[in-house]
Amino acid sequence: MTGLGGAGDGESVVDRAIGVAAEAFGPRLSAAYALGSIAHGGFAPLVSDVDVMLVLDGVDPATSARMADVRERVRRDVPGELADRLSIFWSDPPGVRRGAGEHSRLPEVDRLDLLDSGRLLLGDDCRAGATRPTTDALVLRAAEFALTTFDDAYRARLRDPDDLVAGGARPVTKAVLFPVRFLYTLATGRLGHNTDAAAWYSGHHEHADLAAAAATWRTTGLTDPEAARRLLSTGLRPIYATFTAEYVLALRELGQDSTADRLAAWGELIR
């Protein structure tokens, strides 16, 4: 495997993705941004995704397949694991400003990241006059993400610290920091950047040692796998229990009882 390198290699992936998209879409590509940690800071080559946002003059049912082609070409053109972690978001300008439609890929949490921290690299900035996502929308989206992404295999891994640690720093830190970031968003209405969310968590919830360790592991790796296993065995499922309980309560307050019921049932499966 090619070495991961540093943030500069992540920038190379971003640059190539935008170049390939410009070739694929031509003048239909209105703007391109770096997104996520490579834009707002905290990029960790060991674990981070490389996020790119593309704004087209219009999107349709064929756009998703064309974006998959862009991503596959970047993977062929740029050596190393970071190219495999390229994540492309897309929308048209109205979707950026008011919320993405059915043929876009721009969840509200990522739209908030774009509005607050997206780094314009090509074209004209289309964020002026945008309506910010509400906390309610972010909470609902986080719950839906958990229900669609945290499947049976994911739950089984949460119950098996040995399996998590064997996978290395990337699965471990994502498993810990996903619920920590969601709790931060619920409490603050802001996007949960990893370092900020872990620091906030330490003042509000138990098992802060695991959250703090996960933030460190993003850059250092699992320097002491046995210590990591102990922290995960003690704290990981309780963190998810806290996430589930607080989100179920918030969803019921929003009148989203069906989603709340589903999330409560999901939470019972990881106890």
3-state secondary structure 70-136: HHHHHHHHCCCHHHHCEEEEEECHHHHHHCCCCCCECCHHHHHHHHHHCEEEEECCCCCCCCCCCHH
What pLDDT, on the 0 to 100 scale, is given for residue 271? 79
pLDDT band at 3 (very low <50, low <70, confident <90, very high): very low
* Average pLDDT for 245-250: 98
Handedness of CA 55, 107, 67, 45 (dihedral sign): positive
Amino acid type, 235: G
CA distance 144 to 149: 8
Q: pLDDT tens, 98-139?
A: 999 999 999 999 999 999 999 999 999 999 999 999 999 999
Looking at per-residue pLDDT, the higher value among 66 and 7 belongs to 66
pLDDT band at 2 (very low <50, low <70, confident <90, very high): very low
- Tell me the pLDDT of the chain averaged across its residues: 94
Q: pLDDT tens, 138-152?
A: 999 999 999 999 999
What pLDDT, on the 0 to 100 scale, is given for residue 1? 28
Amino acid type, 59: V
pLDDT band at 162 (very low <50, low <70, confident <90, very high): very high
Q: pLDDT tens, 173-222?
A: 999 999 999 999 999 999 989 999 999 999 999 999 999 999 999 999 99
CA distance 130 to 226: 47
Closest CA to 47 of 222, 192, 231: 222
Residue 242 has pLDDT above 90, yes or no: yes
Structural contact between residues 96 and 130, judged by C-beta atoms closer than 8 angstroms: yes
What pLDDT, on the 0 to 100 scale, is given for residue 226? 97
Q: pLDDT tens, 36-66?
A: 999 998 999 999 999 999 999 999 999 999 9
What pLDDT, on the 0 to 100 scale, is given for residue 111? 96
